[in-house]
Amino acid sequence: MDIDALLAFVNVVNEKSFSNAAKALHITQPAITKRIQNLEGRLNVQLFERLQREIVLTEAGETLLPHALSILHNFENAQQAIRDIDTKVAGTLRIVASHHIGLHRLPLILKEFSLHYPEVDLQLNFLDSESAYPLLQDNIADIAFITIPEKIKPGYTCHLEWDDPMSFICANSHPLAKLTTVKPRDLSLHNAILPSKSTLTYRVVEQIFKKNKLTLNANIPTNYLETMKMMADVGMGWSVLPNTMIDENLTVLPLEIPNLTRTLGAISYRKKHLSNAAAAFVETAESIWGKLQKP
């Protein structure tokens, strides 16, 4: 099957537009339209429908999409395997990372990697951890540094993990900071500043409150830890932050619960071959953080 036609098809799906897909592939709109028409002619089906100004997949298009992605992954893996016959670390490496990891964990790794592998074109984007999975599957990113769930999603490989201990905190001026012992009931009397309900941090806190039959007042959700820290710092409520972010303006609450921690790490899509550059970046990350975590 024509690789260029499948690439055009997947890009139209991702961009939801023939013109935007053409721009992404650096070809003209008539050229991408022709590729889609040829693909539809070969399969003898219609792949897209135009509903008002929206382009949507037909049932045939929905059926083709996972197969097209698999074919493109296999084709790129073959290309990468040929490139990797030479052990040179070069080419483009597309990394996505959560905002926290990108700001607090990756800078040292990026500096070390760029120093040793100057021929690699690094492309870095920040996003929420959950948003990384479709980018890896659609071959828009090569590797993602995110919060690792308790059970990694099927089809993905975890290459390394770091423990990220967290603590309940509040501003030094907050009423909770004056308590010598803090219980969940004390927390329930004040506003909480937490990430969205889909995050591991929220689920852990929610479970504590449910166990104690308490109401969790978390009315200002934000997934940006720096924003959470700022809001806690000015006394808007208590929060849960990584220990690495806690400074002299915040009080760690002496809460009678087990230690709270999450896991950070790097994942890739299992069907995609890990390039020399991606493997070298994972190795660099493991080395840097291994040294930093030694007592």
Q: Is 170 left (phi over 0), alpha (psi -120 to 50) or beta?
A: beta
Find the helix or strand (DSSP H, E) in which 47 lies.
none
Instruction: State the pLDDT at residue 295.
Output: 47
Reported as a single tens digit per residue, the pLDDT across 25-63 is 889 989 999 999 999 888 999 999 887 778 889 999 999
pTM of the model: 0.67
Reported as a single tens digit per residue, the pLDDT across 122-139 is 999 998 888 899 999 888
Which residue in the block uniquely carries the two structure tokens 């830890």? 225
- Provide the mean pLDDT of the chain: 88
Q: Decide if pLDDT at 212 tops 60.
A: yes
Average pLDDT score over residue span 90-119: 91
Contact 141, 114 (CB under 8 A): no
Instruction: State the pLDDT at residue 204.
Output: 85
- Going by pLDDT thresholds of 50, 70 and 90, the confidence category of residue 99 is confident
Instruction: State the pLDDT at residue 86.
Output: 66
Reported as a single tens digit per residue, the pLDDT across 272-284 is 888 889 999 999 9
Average pLDDT score over residue span 154-172: 92
Q: Cβ contacts of residue 236 below 8 Å, gap of 6+?
A: 191, 193, 220
- How far apart, in whole angstroms, are the C-alpha atoms of residue 239 and residue 67? 44
Q: Decide if pLDDT at 220 tops 80.
A: no
- How far apart, in whole angstroms, are the C-alpha atoms of residue 91 and residue 82? 13
Which residue pairs, CB below 8 angstroms and at least 24 apart, start in 77-81? Answer: 77/271, 77/272, 77/273, 80/273, 80/275, 81/273
Contact 69, 62 (CB under 8 A): no
69-108 as b/e: b if 16+ CB within 10 A = bebbbeebeeebeeebeeeebebebbbbbbbbbbebbbee
Higher-confidence residue: 85 or 82?
A: 82
- Going by pLDDT thresholds of 50, 70 and 90, the confidence category of residue 103 is confident
- Going by pLDDT thresholds of 50, 70 and 90, the confidence category of residue 162 is confident
Instruction: State the pLDDT at residue 1.
Output: 65
- Of the ranges 75-79, 110-114, 256-260, the best mean pLDDT one: 110-114
Q: Cβ contacts of residue 5 below 8 Å, gap of 6+?
A: 35, 36, 38, 39, 42
- How far apart, in whole angstroms, are the C-alpha atoms of residue 97 and residue 144? 6
From residue 231, how far is each of 169, 179, 190, 223 by CA, in Å? Answer: 11, 20, 14, 12
Q: Decide if pLDDT at 70 tops 80.
A: yes
Token couple for 267: 């994942």
All structural domains of the chain: 3-83 (1.10.10.10), 91-163+263-292 (3.40.190.10), 165-261 (3.40.190.10)
- How far apart, in whole angstroms, are the C-alpha atoms of residue 283 and residue 245? 25
Reported in sequence order, the residue ranges of the chain that DSSP labels E, i.e. its strands, are 48-51, 54-57, 91-97, 120-126, 143-148, 156-171, 192-193, 238-242, 250-252, 260-269
